[in-house]
């Protein structure tokens, strides 16, 4: 079925688009040509849809006899079956309202200025480098060679293992081996002192040790700390300072050999004045102040805990003391 306004005995509907009546069974509105769903308000007309009257409505033969030729169809008397017109202008305006096109977003002016400034600065830097290329190229080459040589030299020192060279000295120290004092032969200007008796110093017989090393490749200095493992893990570590002795390698670089940097620690004994005072060193009897087993003076001594206790009239005196001896340094009893 096409365009239709219906017959006399047919109920009519009012189009939501053009407000004209159309037949209940019509597929299109006879007034504007919109589809049935659009005319009934079920579907909204598209903004791009051009709705016009597609068919010229011709009055019936009877209407042509009754109406003047100049009278328009809209002025015809409504039939009893015609529905009253309803103002649905909001729906009509919404249905035919055109969509607004989004304008492309313009780039920020500040961003364009910022990019332009960067380009100008880069071009200025390139021009400056081109003008001073005769000076910059040799200086850059020399800097590159110098930095590379410094890096290689630091690498050669860093990959060396001072703890390997220090191991024999540290183990000799904690086990009370006299070869420990060979360090003094390697240090220029080391003084000549007797060695403190090892029988008063308890050796550490741990079977395993923990090493901790800190190296400065530029200064050629290192510090190695040794701590007995197992039950003695939390004892005070014994530290040994080392320095690098260099030998030439690859013509311009130097290879490091690590040696102790300081002489072994010294301990100076100065007993109290009362001669009948008893002396105990690390729990071992060592005579009296008037006749000590270890005479007063300065000694080279092994690292470790050293405890002096003095007794008078069966009571310990306030002259007693204890100190932890490291591999280097000067210590005194008073």
3-state secondary structure of 331: strand
**pLDDT of 100-124, one tens digit each?**
666 665 567 888 888 888 888 888 8
Which helix or strand (DSSP H or E) is residue 36 part of?
A: helix 36-39
CB-CB contact of 243 with 224 (8 Å): no
147-166 pLDDT, tens per residue?
A: 887 777 677 665 667 777 78
CA angle 33, 39, 44 (to 5 degrees): 105
Residue 145 CB contacts under 8 Å (≥ 6 apart), including other chains: none
231, pLDDT greater than 80: no
Q: Copy the structure tokens of residue 246.
A: 């260099």
Mean pLDDT of 230-259: 70
- With CA atoms as reference, report the closest residue to 51 among 72, 30, 23, 21: 30
Between the alpha carbon of residue 298 and those of residues 169, 268, 295, the distances in Å are 21, 4, 9
Q: What DSSP assignment string belongs to 112-158? A: HHHHHHHHHHHHHHHHHHHHTHHHHHHHHHHHHHHHHHHHHHHHHHH
Q: Which two tokens stand for residue 99?
A: 């969509």
What the block records as the tokens of 12 is 């009519």
What is the average pLDDT value for the chain, to the nearest integer?
76
Q: How many beta carbons lie within 10 A of that of residue 238, not counting itself?
A: 22
In terms of average pLDDT, the best of 18-22, 149-153, 249-253 is 18-22
pLDDT over 90, % of the chain:
16
Q: How far is CA 257 from CA 123, 246, 267, in A?
A: 52, 6, 29
Residue 79 pLDDT level (bands cut at 50, 70, 90): very low
Stretch (H or E) spanning 267: strand 266-269
pLDDT of residue 93: 46
Neighbours of 70 (CB within 10 A): 5
* pLDDT at residue 12 is higher than 50: yes
pLDDT, position 105: 59
278-290 pLDDT, tens per residue?
999 999 999 999 9
Which CATH fold topology does 266-332 show? Immunoglobulin-like (2.60.40)
pLDDT score for 68:
58
Rounded to whole angstroms, how far apart are CA atoms 200 and 194?
A: 15
For residue 276, pLDDT beyond 60: yes
Q: The tokens of 91 are what?
A: 């729906």
Do residues 6 and 26 lie in contact, with contact meaning Cβ atoms separated by under 8 Å?
Answer: yes
- Of the pLDDT bands very low, low, confident and very high (cuts 50, 70, 90), residue 63 is low
Q: Which two tokens stand for residue 294?
A: 């270890």
Continuous segment of H or E residues that includes residue 64: helix 61-66
Question: Where does the pLDDT of residue 3 fall: very low under 50, low under 70, confident under 90, or very high at 90 and above?
Answer: very low
């Amino acid at each position: 079925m096409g365009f239709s306004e219906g017959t006399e005995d047919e109920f009519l509907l009012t189009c939501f688009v053009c407000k004209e009546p159309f037949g209940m069974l019509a597929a299109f509105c006879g007034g504007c040509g919109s589809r049935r769903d659009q005319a009934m308000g079920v579907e909204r007309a598209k903004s791009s849809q051009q709705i016009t009257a597609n068919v010229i409505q011709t009055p019936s033969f009877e209407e042509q006899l009754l109406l003047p030729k100049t009278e328009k169809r809209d002025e015809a008397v409504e039939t009893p079956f015609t529905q009253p017109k309803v103002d649905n202008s909001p729906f009509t305006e919404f249905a035919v309202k055109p969509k607004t096109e989004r304008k492309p977003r313009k780039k920020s002016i500040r961003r364009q200025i910022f990019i332009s400034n960067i380009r100008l600065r880069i071009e200025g830097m390139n021009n400056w480098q081109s003008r001073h290329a005769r000076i910059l190229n040799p200086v850059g080459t020399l800097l590159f060679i110098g930095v590379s040589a410094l890096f290689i030299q630091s690498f050669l020192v860093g990959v060396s293992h001072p703890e390997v060279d220090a191991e024999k000295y540290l183990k000799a120290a904690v086990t009370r081996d006299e070869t420990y004092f060979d360090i003094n032969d390697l240090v220029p200007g080391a003084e000549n002192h007797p060695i403190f008796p090892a029988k008063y110093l308890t050796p550490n017989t741990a079977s395993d040790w923990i090493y901790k090393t800190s190296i400065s490749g530029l200064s050629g200095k290192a510090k190695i700390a040794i701590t007995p493992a197992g039950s003695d893990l939390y004892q005070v570590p014994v530290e040994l300072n080392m320095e690098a002795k260099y030998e030439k390698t690859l013509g311009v670089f130097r290879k490091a050999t690590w040696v102790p940097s300081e002489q072994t620690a010294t301990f100076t004994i100065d007993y109290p004045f009362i001669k009948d005072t008893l002396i105990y060193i690390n729990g071992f009897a060592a005579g009296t102040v008037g006749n000590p087993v270890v005479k007063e003076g300065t000694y080279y001594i092994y690292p470790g805990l050293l405890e002096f206790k003095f007794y008078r009239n069966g009571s310990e005196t306030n002259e007693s003391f204890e100190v932890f001896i490291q591999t280097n340094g000067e210590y005194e009893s008073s």
